[in-house]
Every structure is written in C-alpha cells, then in structure tokens.
Amino acid sequence: MDAKTTTETMLVFVCECCALMIANGDESECRDYYRHGHIECDLGAGAVVTGEQVETPTPSTCDGCHQRLGALATMYQVSAPTE
C-alpha cells in the first residue's frame, strides 16, 4: 500500500508582477517589461497560477507581496500551499 501525502492549498489573489514571478520562477519578466524590480512574493514554492483573473472594484492588497493596489487593478488567482 502506498502512502499518499495530501497538501492543503488556499486560493489567493496576487498582482500581475507576483503572477509573473510565480509562473516564471524569477522576476525577469517584471524587470524586463516594466523596468522595475519587485518586492519578494512570499507565497513560496508550490504556488500555481490558476488562470483566473479579476478586476477589483475597490482598492485591494496583493496576497503575495502585500502591495496596496488601486481600484480596477487586475488580480490573478493563485493556488498556494498552506504551511
């Protein structure tokens, strides 16, 4: 009988730069396209962009870098392991 490991995940919303960092594994896309570095995304290994994106009706905060974003910011849904 094989033992299975179950990883609990949570759904969170992140800014575009955090989504790019999760998808690419580094901040090169953010740095090359937007010409700036980015605060570290603290979701850690195992986070996956699910493809869902929403436009926030009010100001909100990124769950990855905790940067405050204005109204109508595009946020991306991420499945991240709980620790």
Q: Is the pLDDT of residue 36 over 80?
A: no
Q: What is the pTM of this model?
A: 0.77
Query: Whose CA is closest to 78, among 69, 70, 65, 34?
Result: 65
CA distance linking residue 42 with residue 74, whole number of Å? 19
Which pLDDT band holds residue 76 (cuts at 50, 70, 90)? very high
Question: With bands split at pLDDT 50, 70 and 90, how would you rate the model's confidence at 37?
Answer: low
